[in-house]
Amino acid sequence: MPPTIALLDASVGDTPAERNLRRELDADVDVFKLSEGRHPPPIAAADWRYDGVVVSGSQTSVYDDHDWIHAATDWFRRAHAADVPTLGICWGHQFVAQALGGRVVDMGEYELGYRSISRVGDDPLFEGVPDRFTSFETHSDRVAELPAGATTLARNDVGVQAFRVGSAYGVQFHPEYDRETAEWVTRNKDLPDERIRSVLDGITDETVADAQAAKRVFDNFLALAERHQPVQGAPGSD
């Protein structure tokens, strides 16, 4: 049987987030639209059935004062305390970091387009991913401080691109993006026309092909989630 995943869709409105992640996750996926107030059941509930959690990107900032972000933070902290494997992507990466005591800040500019990223050390999440790889970036916030006990797994010239803390991972880049999504996101940015054109010019057959290697993180995460055994004594792990 495939693993079961709770997908926390943090995007607002009609976006490609669910479509892209359903395509990349070879799993039984239930979607919970956070911005519409939907959350998975509590970890200790009888209907909890998930091997892991994936948190999507969003058009918001994790430090915005929205009720749904506060509610999602409370839910995730309990899930993390129960040692549930989690993968946060872009906004989700920042969300995991902030929820566990890290600090997220406004960069004052966008990192946008296909960018080069370097791995730092070894971790099963990046098994089969080259030491230097390409993936699409679209964010104007960054993780300035990681939570206590976190390990950096990837970086570039902007900052932390991946980390792990306990059974939770964050990746700042978007391994789930296809070419259509990369172009759609770029065209919808409120940026000067010349910047938009420059990013679109960088979305080529070559860069899209180069970014395929980063998609390995999805299969690797699912494998980690399937074989994960909760830490003895973790709240809700009985």
- List, by residue number, the catalytic residues: 90, 174, 176
Q: What share of the chain is helix, strand, coil (3-state, %, to 5)?
A: 35, 30, 40
Closest by Cα among 168, 177, 182, 142 to 225: 168
**Would you tell me how many other CB atoms lie within 10 Å of the CB of residue 177?**
28
Per-residue CA distances from 120 to 91, 129, 175, 235 (Å): 21, 12, 17, 31
The 10 Å Cβ neighbour count of residue 122 is 10
Angle at the Cα of 47 from the Cα atoms of 43 and 50, rounded to 5 degrees: 60
CB 124 within 8 A of CB 162: no
- Given a contact cutoff of 8 angstroms between Cβ atoms, the answer to whether 152 and 126 are in contact is no
Nearest partner of 161 among 118, 214, 221, 98, judged by Cα: 118
Identify whether the C-beta of residue 146 lies closer than 8 Å to the C-beta of residue 159. no
